[in-house]
């Protein structure tokens, strides 16, 4: 679908979507607490809707398909494994069958679960026979996905002997673990943390009212838009300053792009720093181990501005909705911009380059973040076409409607 630019200045107010990361954790906790209380401002993202529907219909389910929802796959693997005297076949999309889950399956089986990989060892689909899990002590590799650890932490209070969880290797996406623990504590669960060890004794969740924050990951695209615009005044409603979300570091990172964040009662306002000047010789270097979901946004922002960069800590990107390192390389070469990747964990662009009109349609690879990160590049070039606009429903269903203040899509009903 062709994306045409209306204007390079962006003046708008945006009601950001709710955090799906927070929403998904709260849904699992509500199910574990056996509560029927509503959750205020629950995410409308496709991933959250999938998880909520599954949990609401679990009593009548055997075959459960999560589609592309990676968080749902990991969290449900743990949750279903403790549904005693029940059997489930947990599956997903073709891409989901390529995303590893061996570490989580082995950890759960060690504490009494009965989970078998049905096709390829270490990958979905999974045959899960519900058991009364005993818990106890576990060591787990924390260098692959924080969702494995969050899945175990969330069920820990319900286990017969609680859980002592020891993390091995470098921890990736640690803010998501902090979010999990913060939410567990909000619902009155005691979590003892000592360096890389977590201890949760057997106890009960006390479910109560909660208002889900707006999504900082969704805000990242507006930071990119602000940076690439000729001028801007963008009000982002619903963001929380002292947020549980790791991506809140955006406000600090984008000072390097001349974007200022001004807090007010409804959220924050993005404006240009009029005194800011880019140093085109600078190489922006950031370790994204804790915030890998910002990678596509930051890469596209740098490319749009013409800024050199080196991003590290990207090892988790190869097992996301697509291999995001390869996807970025494949699509940016269409602009005659060549990224260099190293060790499946680094991306860099440190030579002189110029952003050209793409010579082909931009593919999204069924990855919502590819569509939303690439679209703002139309502020810098003429002629941009994205192959799948619907993919944004995974996390930000109103994205195209919201950006229609400065772009238009051919024959698209907003």
- Please tell me the distance from the alpha carbon of residue 300 to that of residue 227, in angstroms, as a whole number: 11
**155 closest CA partner among 32, 30, 25, 23:** 32
Q: What are phi and psi of 254, to 5 degrees?
A: -80, 0
Which H helix or E strand runs over 4? Answer: strand 2-5
CA distances from 300 to 65, 79, 87 (A): 33, 37, 45
Least Cα distance to 235 among 270, 277, 280 occurs for 270
Query: Taken in order 21, 53, 57, 116, is the CA torsion positive or negative?
Result: negative
DSSP 120-169: STTSS-EEEE------EEEEEE-SS-HHHHHHHHHHGGGSTT-EEEEEES
How far apart are the C-alpha atoms of 276 and 281, rounded to whole Å? 15
User: Tokens at residue 396, please?
Assistant: 């930000």
d(CA 159, CA 97): 28
Would you call 97 exposed, middle or buried from its count of C-beta atoms within 10 A (0-12, 13-18, 19+)? middle
Tell me, what DSSP letter sits at residue 311?
A: E
70 and 320 Cβ atoms separated by less than 8 Å: yes
Beta strand pairing call for 2-5 and 87-91: unpaired
* Cβ contact 209:187 at 8 Å: no
Chain centroid to Cα 302, Å, comes to: 20
The three-state secondary structure class of 262 is strand
Interatomic CA distance for residues 372 and 401, integer angstroms: 12
Is-catalytic flag, 293? Answer: yes
Beta bridge partners of 4: 408
Active-site option among 47, 293, 367, 402: 293
Residue 406: φ, ψ to 5° = -135, -5
Query: What is the Cα–Cα distance from 370 to 386, expressed in whole angstroms?
Result: 9
**Residue 60: how many other CB atoms lie within 10 Å:** 5
Catalytic residues: 293
């Amino acid at each position: 679908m062709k994306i045409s630019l209306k204007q390079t200045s962006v003046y708008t107010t945006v009601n950001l979507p709710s955090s799906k990361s927070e929403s998904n954790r709260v849904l699992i906790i509500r199910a574990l607490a056996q509560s029927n209380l509503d959750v205020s401002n629950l995410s409308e993202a496709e991933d959250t809707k999938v998880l909520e529907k599954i949990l609401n219909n679990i009593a009548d389910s055997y075959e459960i398909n999560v589609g592309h929802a990676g968080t749902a796959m990991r969290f449900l693997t743990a949750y279903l494994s403790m549904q005693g005297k029940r059997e489930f076949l947990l599956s997903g999309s073709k891409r989901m069958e390529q995303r590893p889950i061996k570490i989580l399956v082995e950890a759960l089986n060690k504490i009494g679960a009965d989970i078998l990989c049905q096709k390829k060892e270490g990958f979905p689909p999974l045959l899960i026979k519900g058991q009364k899990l005993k818990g106890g002590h576990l060591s787990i590799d924390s260098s692959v996905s924080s969702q494995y650890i969050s899945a175990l932490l969330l069920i820990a209070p319900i286990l017969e002997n609680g859980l002592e969880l020891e993390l091995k290797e470098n921890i990736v996406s640690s803010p998501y673990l902090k979010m999990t623990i913060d939410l567990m504590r909000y619902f009155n669960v005691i979590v003892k943390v000592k360096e890389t060890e977590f201890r949760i004794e057997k106890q009960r969740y006390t479910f109560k009212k909660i208002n889900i924050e707006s999504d900082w990951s969704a805000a990242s695209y507006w930071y990119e838009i602000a940076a690439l615009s000729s001028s801007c005044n963008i009000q982002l409603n619903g963001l929380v300053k002292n947020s549980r979300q790791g991506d809140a570091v955006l406000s600090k990172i984008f000072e390097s792009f001349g974007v200022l964040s001004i807090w007010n009662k409804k959220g924050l306002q993005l404006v240009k720093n009029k005194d800011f000047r880019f140093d085109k010789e600078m190489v922006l270097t950031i370790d994204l181990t804790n915030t890998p979901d910002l990678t596509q946004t930051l890469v596209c922002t740098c490319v749009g501005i013409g800024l050199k960069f080196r991003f590290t800590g990207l090892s988790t990107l190869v097992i996301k909705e697509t291999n995001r390192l390869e996807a970025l390389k494949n699509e940016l070469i269409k602009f005659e911009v060549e990224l260099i990747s190293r060790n499946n964990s680094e991306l860099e662009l440190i030579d002189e380059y110029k952003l050209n009109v793409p010579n082909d349609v931009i593919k999204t690879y069924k990855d919502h973040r590819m569509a939303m990160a690439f679209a703002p590049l139309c502020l810098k070039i003429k002629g941009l076409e994205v192959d799948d606009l619907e993919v944004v429903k995974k996390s930000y269903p109103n994205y195209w409607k919201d950006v229609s203040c400065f772009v238009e899509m051919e024959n698209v009903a907003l």
